[in-house]
Amino acid sequence: MNLSNKKILAAKTLGVGTGRIELNINRLDEIKEAITRQDIKDLVKSGAIKIKETKGRRKNVKRKQRRRIGKIKLKVKARKRSYIIITRKLRTYIKGLKTQEKITNEKYAELRKQIRNRSFKSKRHLKENLQ
């Protein structure tokens, strides 16, 4: 006995997926005779058709992933401002090294590119890289 159409009708009537509809094996004859949506609703009330509970832990995960201190990102303007400050500091530092002739012009150009690409977090990081 194929009751897939009854299952689809029940799913549409109750607003759930077909996977969540459970038919009572002992009352298949009653379910077979159901034609209208009202018949399906009556069968749900009497217990011939049941809706399975949803599985999963999605709500738990959602609660854990909510926006907290670590998740909040800085505004674009604040990030740009910090980039400008660190870039200016590092560029003046390597310019000083170039005037003191501690680094070559090629090394200076390479360091400027690395600074532009945010390769260095701080002046200390740049100094460690030079050694």
State how many domains the chain has.
Answer: 2
**82 and 45 in one domain?**
no
Average pLDDT score over residue span 13-19:
93
For position 110, which CATH number holds? 1.10.1200
Residue 63, domain member (yes or no): no
Lowest average pLDDT, out of 8-17, 61-70, 79-88, goes to 61-70
For residues 126 and 80, membership in a common domain is answered with yes
Over 70: is that where the pLDDT of 1 sits?
Answer: no
Per-residue confidence (pLDDT) for residue 3, from 0 to 100? 85
Q: Which domain holds residue 98?
A: 76-130
Question: Do the domain assignments include residue 110?
Answer: yes
Distance in angstroms (rounded) separating the CA atoms of residues 67 and 21: 35
Answer yes or no: do 46 and 86 share one domain: no
Q: Report d(CA 131, CA 115) in Å as an integer.
A: 16
User: The domain spanning residue 14 has which CATH number?
Assistant: 1.10.1650.10
